[in-house]
Structure 1
Amino acid sequence: MSDCGCHAEANTAAERRVLWIALALNAAMAVIGSLAGWLAQSTGLLADALDMLSDATAYAIGLAAIGRSARFKQRAAGVSGSLLLLLGVGVLIEVGRRAWVGSEPVGWPIVATALVSLAANLAVLRLLRPFRRGEVHLRATWIFTRADVVANIGVIVSGVLILATGWRYPDLVVGALIGLYVSKEALEILSEARNAGRLPAAPEERA
């Protein structure tokens, strides 16, 4: 009975359930955050929303990787890391644009939206915890969500500072920090994917 594959099937089902929940929450918050960020003129919220959109894409890739070969999972993690790196660079460009042309971020919608995003990401992080030391594509989703939590906290702090001081600079600073942090996390994922690619392939995975 130990070789029936029941445990593997159960693990696969659990992974799919968690990734579907994470995908739904991130996609919903990406839409909400984008609208709120646009209306509130917040670089931090827009960066956070784009980060969650990238995460939703990563979770979709993770779902596609379940049950596939180690090589496919390594490539899926590489695609996820590349998307996240592009996002980080894009955020930094947007911060520079807004610093040049000016913006007037509104504090209360920034704080409210970031609190909702934080609650969603903490829920996803708790669901992903059992898989944080799993295969490379699942470790990538853990890293994505961990980055989101840090970004959410930064946006909340910037919103509070805007409410307290009326300055727009906290939003720009947090947006830039999110861009840098996201880029760092992307490089970490790409590094893990490269390291996984150096491992010898199983006989059944070799061409």
Structure 2
Amino acid sequence: MAHDHAHDHKPPADLGPTFLWAVGLNTAYVIVEATAGFLTGSLALLADAAHNLTDVAGLLIAWGAAVLAKRAGSASYTFGFGRATILAAMLNAIAILIGVVVVVWQAAQRFQTVVEVPGPAILLVALVGIGVNTGSALLFMASKKDDLNAKGAYLHMAADAAVSGAVVLAAAGILLTGWQWLDPAVAIAVSVLIAWTAWGLLRDSLRLELDGVPEAIDRQAVADWLGAQPGVSNVHDLHIWALSTTRTALAVHLVWDGADADAFLDHVTDKLAQHFAIIHATVQLEQAPCERAGACLVE
């Protein structure tokens, strides 16, 4: 006997106003920082402005993908468009890595041709950046526990605040020592930090794009929990994958000996949502041992 059961919970909170404020604040700051960088010749400011520009693009992509993910599925896209959020994260990571290569190349050239930059101007602009990025991070703080997009935006904005802090240190160093090489040095250091963050984002998004088990979910723990449910003697064909950056799906076959299938399915899907944040589960019940050798597995 086989039963299929799907269970879904309410969609994530609307982050539209949060994205709107974050995009507005960071766009305004990018304009100010890029202008200051060109006028002063500071590569550190230009590097940070370029990174903040990719952040604005990333926020817009994530915002658009989140809106698209709310659209209902169609005959051609039966799961909906939630995976657009995963694609958005991947494109954002690739864009950041390309920007890093450009900045590092320019910084290397600057070591050979020293350009004097005004420390006070850099210091002032970078201090504004700390305020803007910290404020943007705080906008996402309340939602970061429940929404991977919000968590990513929060971490990105917090990292940007730290980067602006590094630029402040470079400006202070130039004022105290007159060492102009601190500007390209900080630009390279900032780029390395950004590349590390972007690589992690690219790795995680690629994992989800290839239907890997989301990193936050322990597949073994899920298998053990299913195998421990009353009446379950075997667990097999267990698959866990991401429908979006905020929604996870599961499909599994259970060899089960019980009386009330509907009650059992409701219990299992509710608990999967509560304990493992798996909000779309398809469970097939079987009342006979697996016929294929090695197919049954209690993990």
After TM superposition, the score normalised by the length of structure 2 is 0.62
CA offsets per residue over residues 72-124 of structure 1, 9 Å max, x none?
11101101111111111111111112112221111000000000111000000
Distance 1:192 1:142, change over 3 A: farther
2:181 to 161, 169, 187: 169
Name the residue aligned to 1:44.
44
Letter in 2 for 1:116: V
Residue 140 (structure 2) pairs with residue 125 (structure 1): no
Report the RMSD for the aligned CA atoms in angstroms: 2.1
Distance 1:112 1:43, change over 3 A: same
Q: Does the residue aligned with 1:131 lie in a helix, a strand or coil?
A: coil
Name the residue aligned to 1:25.
25
Name the residue aligned to 2:107.
95
1:6-155 alignment to 2 at 5 Å?
8=11, 11-12=13-14, 15-67=15-67, 68=69, 69-155=81-167
Letter in 2 for 1:17: P
On the 8 A contact 1:121/1:145 being kept in 2, the answer is yes
On the 8 A contact 1:111/1:160 being kept in 2, the answer is yes
- Count of aligned pairs between the two proteins: 197
Residue identity (%) = 23
Distance 1:134 1:82, change over 3 A: farther
Letter in 2 for 1:53: L
Moved more, 115-124 or 138-147: 138-147
Distance between the aligned counterparts of 2:165 and 2:206, measured in 1? 30
Aligned-pair distance for 1:137?
Answer: 3.3
Aligned-pair distance for 1:196?
Answer: 2.3
Q: Which runs of 5+ in 1 are unaligned?
A: none
On the 8 A contact 1:88/1:179 being kept in 2, the answer is yes
On the 8 A contact 2:114/2:181 being kept in 1, the answer is no
Letter in 2 for 1:163: L
Name the residue aligned to 1:194.
206
Distance between the aligned counterparts of 1:185 and 1:149, measured in 2? 14
Distance 1:106 1:75, change over 3 A: same
Higher helix share: 1
Q: Does the residue aligned with 2:116 lie in a helix, a strand or coil?
A: coil
Q: Does the residue aligned with 2:37 lie in a helix, a strand or coil?
A: helix
On the 8 A contact 1:107/1:159 being kept in 2, the answer is yes
Aligned-pair distance for 1:173?
Answer: 1.3
Residue 165 (structure 2) pairs with residue 185 (structure 1): no
Q: Does the residue aligned with 2:94 lie in a helix, a strand or coil?
A: helix
Distance between the aligned counterparts of 1:196 and 1:182, measured in 2? 21
After TM superposition, the score normalised by the length of structure 1 is 0.87
Q: Which runs of 5+ in 2 are unaligned?
A: 1-8, 70-80, 214-240, 244-248, 252-279, 281-299
